[in-house]
Structure 1
Amino acid sequence: MHSKFIITTLFTFATLYSYGQTFIDGKEDEVIKERPFQISLVPGFGTSRGAKQGYVNRFSLNLFAGYEYGFHGVELGGFYNINKHNIKGAQFAGFGNTVGGDVYGAQFGGFVNTVKGKVKGVQGAGYLNIVSKEVQGAQLAGYMNLADSVKGLQAAGIINVNRRNLDGTQLAGIINVAKDVEGLQVSGLVNKAKHIKGTQIGLINIADTVERGATVGLLNIVKKGKHQLAVEHNEVMDVNLAFRSGTDRLYSVLFAGIQGKSDFLWSYGLGFGTEFKLKNHWSSNVEITSQSINPKEDHHEELNLLNRLSWNFNYQMASHLSISAGPAFNVYVTDVYDQESGRYGDDIDMGSFYNETFSGTNVKMWIGYNISVKF
């Protein structure tokens, strides 16, 4: 008796209020009927007759799946929610949500969310979010986000794709893709954009132009930027081969070198630098680098790092040819110890003015030099 009374009351309540009217998105030429709630098992089985009736629900409950015109309030779906037109409020589904219009509020799907229009608010999915137009707010996914443009935050475990503008932040575990970026791109591997007004941070950064800001990574491929190979010599390594990429404002340095003495050594390292123009064909650059020093056919397991702060002056001889030279401040930090000789580290310093050992770690400092030919 009690269950029949409750069901009858719900149907009566829905009927009494189903003839209320409201304007959708302020468009006076499109009057939509409003009701307080609907409950469905699947489309066609419940208090609702589906999207064709044109009802906007205040509360929508789809025990398994539902297909409605829209809602202004809350919608819950055990598996899937589908709305033909705009929604306002909060939408939750165990598997996914599909909206044929715009979303104003929050949309959460256990696996996927798709929106044909725009999103103003938050969109969160365990796997995939797709928005055909703009996102104003936050788009969050465990695997992938896809949007036309984003103003706010786009964060995914693997990949973010923004077909046009990003005004805000992209965060991805593997790759970010956008056309014009005004803000920040951060990824675990690759950031790709056409125009940058902000910052890219990743192992590999790709852009056509960096109008302002910087690209920070091991490899920075800027079409209208710095791509420079160099053959170098310094007091530590007889020959270094280096590659600089990025912009004059901030670029990365990858290099490897060898020392051809009787105790043959090889090294590899990375760093960052900045270059500024001087008069005529002259320029100057400051670089901070760190490199691992290793013996022939071996690799030190212990800490053995040479850190250098160098200040070079460059003369541009031709469009792709310059020579460079300058002093370098060296800080050599090593745990390598030879018990027979009592020496820490490899024989690379040219007369240190500082040599101290702390808990088995030796630190040496000296002034060196660097000479290079850049192409």
Structure 2
Amino acid sequence: MENKEKLPWELVEDILSRVPPKPLVRFRTVCKRWNTLFDDNTFINNHKMTFRFIVVTKSKVYSVSLNPEIEVSELTLDIPGLNNQKPNDLVDCNGLLLCGMKEGAVVCNPWSGQIRCIKAEVSQSSLEYRGLGYDGNRIGKKIVYETLAIDDLGTDTWKQVLKEVKDETSPQNLFYMHSTRGVSLNGNLFWVAYYQSHRSLLLVVSFDFGSGKYFNFCGLPCVENDHSDALVLRVFRGDRFSLLKQCHVTKKIQIWVAKDKIDNGHSRDVKWMSFMEVSIPDLPYLVQKQSYPQPSYFIDDKRDKRLVVCSCDVNGRAWIYVVGESKLISKTRLDFVVDPWPLHCTCFPSLVMVGGCPREDKEKKKKQNYVFNISFLIFFCLVAFFFF
């Protein structure tokens, strides 16, 4: 019997990294090694189609990629209610999207097309969805309460969380979020926040889904900051933070990145290093409406240092800016996106499956042998409360 000639594993990885995300879902069943590879952060970060934005309007969902030119494509997602309303909130976690609608929310994987609807179990109708995280080791309890709540997609139940965020070393210092949109890393949520007593003093606050507690996670490289400046926390290389700051007066942009990987602890020892600075006369201010979410961005450092930003102009039209260290490389108006002030976020193609199923569908799903391998948690807050 002849031995089958095998390709080197490095070549297999390179070939698979060039395959679009949706076909990769079917390749999970080829072998155990391939299935493990598709969940590896290094593979995801090296995927040739990694960098992109998701832009959502009243009736459309668009994917915007840099490959190397700006490419816009419409995604076909069966999101209930999207044909007559724009989502109130849009956040991402590990390639999944959370769309906060007028009643409830939708979690979806835009690359596989999987969708899960979430029905709010609180009496109030106005909800603001703050972020998406996960914890596979705990089961939530169904509790309806006044201010903050978590929905566990694995069990379709609710859990109450604490109302206050306090610094462990200074228990009387309360924090407020600089931006309502949380950043998900290692299953936890993170926000840029400021002290109640001093709005210009900034830090990073985290929420641990496993313990249900908040923590003063770390300081920021720009300790003091004007509240009108753009300040956006994102994930860099899949395992650490990046921070964008744009001065609202000079329009100068500064980017910092965390030197080391972020672990699951609550350490304050995060070392930041300057990544790039951009001071270009014709670069616009990226925050045109204080009530509108701050700009979305990612850093493309595979070839050279490039900052790619999605933001809206004064008329609410979406633009993509590609910026080098010393010049504005390109600016592209997204003419396909006709509705003003669309929601947008960065999203990385992922094979993560949408976890859990509604209570009434559990037996049906079991019979159909659907496998859900991660229990995702939705964290939301009433609009009436800015943070608490």
Q: Same fold (TM over 0.5)?
A: no
Q: TM-score, normalised by structure 2?
A: 0.23
- Higher relative CO (Cα under 8 Å, sequence separation at least 6) belongs to 2
Of Structure 1 and Structure 2, the greater helix share is in: 2
